[in-house]
Amino acid sequence: MRRLAVIITVLILSAWGALQLSRSTTFMIAGEAIARVETNAPVIALTFDDGPSPRFLGDVLTTLNEHGTVATFFLVGQDVVAHPELVTQIADGGHELGNHSYSHPRLVLMSPSRVAAEIETTDQSLRNAGYTGAIPFRPPYGKKLVILPFYLARNERPAIMWDVAPEDDPALAGDADAITDFVLKEARSGSIILLHPMYDSGAATRAALPAILSGLTARGFEFVTVSELLDLRAP
Ligand SMILES: [Zn+2]
């Protein structure tokens, strides 16, 4: 009986540990997870997840354009197929497009062939939409455990994570001023900021965006794409 209790406890702790690892922004069992880069340059990568959705993309692009800022948009393949014209619109603004999987599943308990298909179909959908630039990859929900890391390692592709994510805190998520304050306090050289401005739920984030861009610019930071940030890594 006692032995059974020990086994059950070990199993529960292992499952809990695996869940924590799958969420970690810095650890991956194989390959590389990048939450921030070490750099001497005052540069920051602003990243937006999900979509593209026609409803709010125009607002976001206008704000970026007004501030002369570039960003990286991690897009969902099935939404790219539904709105290829939005891909052109984003790329024409000088922004980078990333791969955020095809159907936004948790790429955790999934066969290797399905993981590969989720990623490769999305790359292809971006190319079909006419995008020719580099395509960084970010796992949906930031989740990765075993299959995905080995796939990424084999393809020499890092998992792009983040070190500044104000919407993760429910106390900040609906409050534009709180989001702005958090980002201005937490962002530093080499940071990767994660925001979700693409849907109704992103109203506070969209409202915060102009103050985030002006505030970080006033502090001397320059915005770069994820690929540019990786190139600026200190040797
Ligand atoms: Zn997402």
**What is the whole-number distance in angstroms between the Cα of residue 5 and the centre of ligand 1?**
38
With respect to residue 57, please indicate whether it lies within any of the assigned structural domains: yes
Q: 40: buried, middle or exposed (CB in 10 Å: 19+, 13-18, 0-12)?
A: exposed
**What is the whole-number distance in angstroms between the Cα of residue 10 and the centre of ligand 1?**
32
With respect to residue 76, please indicate whether it lies within any of the assigned structural domains: yes
The mean predicted confidence, pLDDT, of the chain is 92
Q: What local confidence, expressed as pLDDT, does residue 142 receive?
A: 86
With respect to residue 16, please indicate whether it lies within any of the assigned structural domains: no
The answer, yes or no, to whether residue 9 has pLDDT greater than 90, is no
Which CATH number covers residue 99?
3.20.20.370
pLDDT tens sequence across 93-149: 999 999 999 999 888 888 999 999 999 999 999 999 999 999 999 999 888 888 999
Q: Of 49, 50, 79, 163, which is the active-site residue?
A: 49
pLDDT tens sequence across 25-40: 877 888 899 999 999 8
Active site residue 83: no
Sign for the pseudo-dihedral over CA of 146, 150, 156, 157? negative
**What is the whole-number distance in angstroms between the Cα of residue 6 and the centre of ligand 1?**
37
With respect to residue 110, please indicate whether it lies within any of the assigned structural domains: yes
Question: What is the three-class DSSP state of 129?
Answer: coil
What is the number of domains present in the chain? 1
With respect to residue 6, please indicate whether it lies within any of the assigned structural domains: no
Cα–Cα distance for residue pair 111/123, rounded to 1 Å: 19
Closest by CA to 226, choosing from 44, 24, 18, is 44
With respect to residue 93, please indicate whether it lies within any of the assigned structural domains: yes
For 224, the token pair is: 């770069």
Domain extent at residue 123: 34-141+158-231
Active site residue 104: no
pLDDT tens sequence across 141-188: 888 888 999 999 999 999 999 999 999 999 898 999 999 999 999 999
The answer, yes or no, to whether residue 1 has pLDDT greater than 90, is no
